[in-house]
Amino acid sequence: MPQSAKTTPTPAPAPGDRAPAAGRPSAALPAAVHRTVEAPAGRIHLVEQGTGPLVLVVHGFPESWYSWRHQLPALAAAGYRAVALDVRGYGRSSKPREVAAYRMLAHVADNVAVVRALGEETAVIAGHDWGSPIAANSALLRPDVFTAVALLSVPYAPRGAIRPTEAFAQLGGDEEFYINYFQEPGRAEAEIEPDVRSWLAGFYAGLSGDAEPSADPAGAGLFSVPPGGKLSDRFPAGPPPHSWLTEADLDFYAGEFERTGLTGPLNRYRNVDRDWEDLAAWDGAKLTQPALFIGGEHDAPAQWMADAIKAFPHTLPGLSAAHLLDGCGHWIQQERPEEVNRLLLDWLRSLPATSVRTAS
């Protein structure tokens, strides 16, 4: 039976205190390298650090490779080849025009192409937010490539019987659930793009573990939109959470989205029904590779999907542990970098050799 625990922050061990199963840490940590590789998207931009077994990390919305800035050096120091990509539609990766180009099958194909372009046959994959289902489906559809999977924020839940937009409409009740609000092309862009930096600051702050109380007196939170309203109407007042997101960090994210726009990232949401149709053959499928889940105590997906977490013994038979971090919000690896690094590294070191093998 996998471990399930609430975890409080503890310092990460210094690199080199314990040699990883994959090999000893490098004496001199190599600098991170930016590059692009060919993929079905056109090109995928990635940031790579370290040598050793490949660990591919996938970000969510509205983020970038930069969301893993604290994990890349820690993984590299522990003897892994850490690679964070810009998902198609983000950053310096290609941005196909068609909405359907952002279906889950396309993201899985991009991830496989990245592994191959890096000269590897297999990889461990980890994902946060939308990156979590992208990582889970990459492992589900291509177990020959992705030998172990770590999921942050969003628990694994097999495809179900109800069309997603219908299920989200039920969640919204008399209001509009945010995923349905994102469905119409151009609608959310019109809210976000006139002042990207302010919108991001409010969104990041509202989902943080140290969030100020919602501006909505009814306490509906950030996940439903009243008729005629905007998602940002309920963003908290005050500055962004400087405890984990500096002004420089916010500048980086804002600069990326001011340059690229939000259509590509939002198109991921616009494919939830298409994904449901594409993945019909995997209805109810278990994810059998070695797995890890890390959620935040105050992170909404861990609350909405509590039943999915309870089902882990059945749906994730290879799960080694499920952690809920005390006081943590949605931005798990940024809010609690030392703790997440420790949990990831302990899990990676526990994997069987067949899950962390490199290309011959």
Q: Which two tokens stand for residue 26?
A: 């490098």
Q: Are 138 and 109 in contact (CB under 8 A)?
A: no
The Cα–Cα gap between 157 and 314 comes to: 11
Task: Compute CA distances 256 → 101, 156, 200, whole Å.
Answer: 21, 29, 11
State the pairing for strand pair 81-85/42-49.
antiparallel
**Active site members:** 129, 330
**Partner residues linked to 3 by β-bridges:** 321
| Closest by Cα among 260, 258, 322 to 295 | 322
Taking the CA atoms of residue 143, residue 285, residue 178 and residue 267 in that order, the dihedral angle to the nearest 10 degrees is: 40
Local structure of 77: helix, strand or coil: helix
Look at the block and give the residue holding tokens 């070191």.
349
The Cα–Cα gap between 187 and 185 comes to: 6
State the pairing for strand pair 3-7/319-325.
parallel
